[in-house]
Amino acid sequence: MCGIIGVVGGGAAAPVLLGGLRRLEYRGYDSAGLALSGEGRLLVRRAVGKVAALTERIAQDDPEGPFGRWTTGIAHTRWATHGAPTEANAHPHLDRTGRIAVVHNGIIENYRQLRSRLEAAGHRFASETDTEVLARLIGDRHQGDLRAAVVAALREVEGAYGVAVLCADEPGALVVARKGSPLCVGIAEGRVLVASDPAALVAHTRQVIHLDDGDVALLRADSVDVSGLDLSPRHRSPDELPPDVAAAERDGHEHFMHKEMHEQPESVRNALRGRIDLRNGDAVLAGLGRGEDGEDATVRRAILLGCGTSLHACMVGEFAFEELAQLPAEAEQAAEFRYRNPLVGPDDLVVAVSQSGETADTLAAVKEARSRGARVRGLVNVVGSAIARQTGRGVYLHVGPEVSVASTKAFTGQVAVLLLMALRLGRSRRLSPERGRAMAAEIARLPELVERVLERESSVIRAAERMAHSEHAFFLGRGPMHPVALEGALKLKEISYVHAEGYHAAELKHGPIALLTEGTPVVVIANRSPVRDKTLSNAEECRARGAGLVAVVTQGQEGPPGAWADLVIPDCDPLVATVPAAVALQMLAYHVARIRGCPIDQPRNLAKSVTVE
Ligand code: F6R
At position 612, the amino acid (one-letter code) is V
pLDDT at 546: 94
Fold of 249-444: Rossmann fold (3.40.50)
Least confident of 76-90, 259-273, 485-499, 562-576: 76-90
pLDDT at 67: 78
Q: Is the dihedral of CA 344, 350, 353, 356 positive or negative?
A: positive
CATH 3.40.50.720 fits 3-246, yes or no: no
Same fold, 3-246 and 249-444: no
- Residue 350 sits at the vertex; the CA angle it makes with 345 and 352, to the nearest 5 degrees, is 145
pLDDT at 378: 95
Contact 5, 79 (CB under 8 A): no
- Once rounded to an integer, what is the mean pLDDT over residues 489-500? 97
Helices in 372-408 by DSSP H: which ranges?
386-391
2, 184, 542, 572: which one is catalytic? 2
At position 537, the amino acid (one-letter code) is S
At position 403, the amino acid (one-letter code) is V
Q: Is 334 a pocket residue for ligand 1 (Cβ < 6 Å)?
A: no
pLDDT tens digits, one per residue of 524-538:
999 999 999 999 999
Q: In angstroms, rounded to a whole number, what is the distance separating the alpha carbons of residues 466 and 478?
A: 24
Class of domain 453-602: alpha beta
Q: In angstroms, rounded to a whole number, what is the distance separating the alpha carbons of residues 408 and 310?
A: 10
pLDDT tens digits, one per residue of 258-283:
999 999 999 999 999 889 999 999 99
Percent of the chain residues past pLDDT 70, beyond the cut = 95
Least confident of 159-163, 310-314, 447-451: 159-163
Q: Is 92 a pocket residue for ligand 1 (Cβ < 6 Å)?
A: no
C-alpha 366 – ligand 1 centre gap (Å)? 16
- Once rounded to an integer, what is the mean pLDDT over residues 382-394? 86
With b meaning 16 or more CB within 10 Å and e meaning fewer, what string describes 589-611?
bbbbbbebebebbbbeebbbbbb
Domain extents in the chain: 3-246, 249-444, 453-602
Percent of the chain residues past pLDDT 90, beyond the cut = 77
DSSP code string of 319-345: HHHHHHH---EEEEEHHHHTTS-----
pLDDT at 249: 64
Least confident of 253-257, 367-371, 376-380: 253-257
110 C-beta neighbours (distance < 10 Å), count? 14
Q: Is 529 a pocket residue for ligand 1 (Cβ < 6 Å)?
A: no
Altogether, the residues listed in the chain come to a count of 613
Q: In angstroms, rounded to a whole number, what is the distance separating the alpha carbons of residues 175 and 16?
A: 18
Contact 360, 180 (CB under 8 A): yes
pLDDT tens digits, one per residue of 91-101:
999 999 999 99
> What pTM did the predictor assign?
0.75
pLDDT tens digits, one per residue of 406-464:
999 999 999 999 999 999 999 998 899 999 999 999 999 999 999 999 999 999 999 99
Q: Is 354 a pocket residue for ligand 1 (Cβ < 6 Å)?
A: yes
Active site residue 608: yes
DSSP 215: -
Active site residue 2: yes
The alpha-carbon radius of gyration of the chain (Å, integer) is: 25
Sheet holding 499-504, edge to edge: 499-504, 472-477, 521-526, 548-554, 565-569
- How many angstroms separate the first and last alpha carbons of the chain? 12
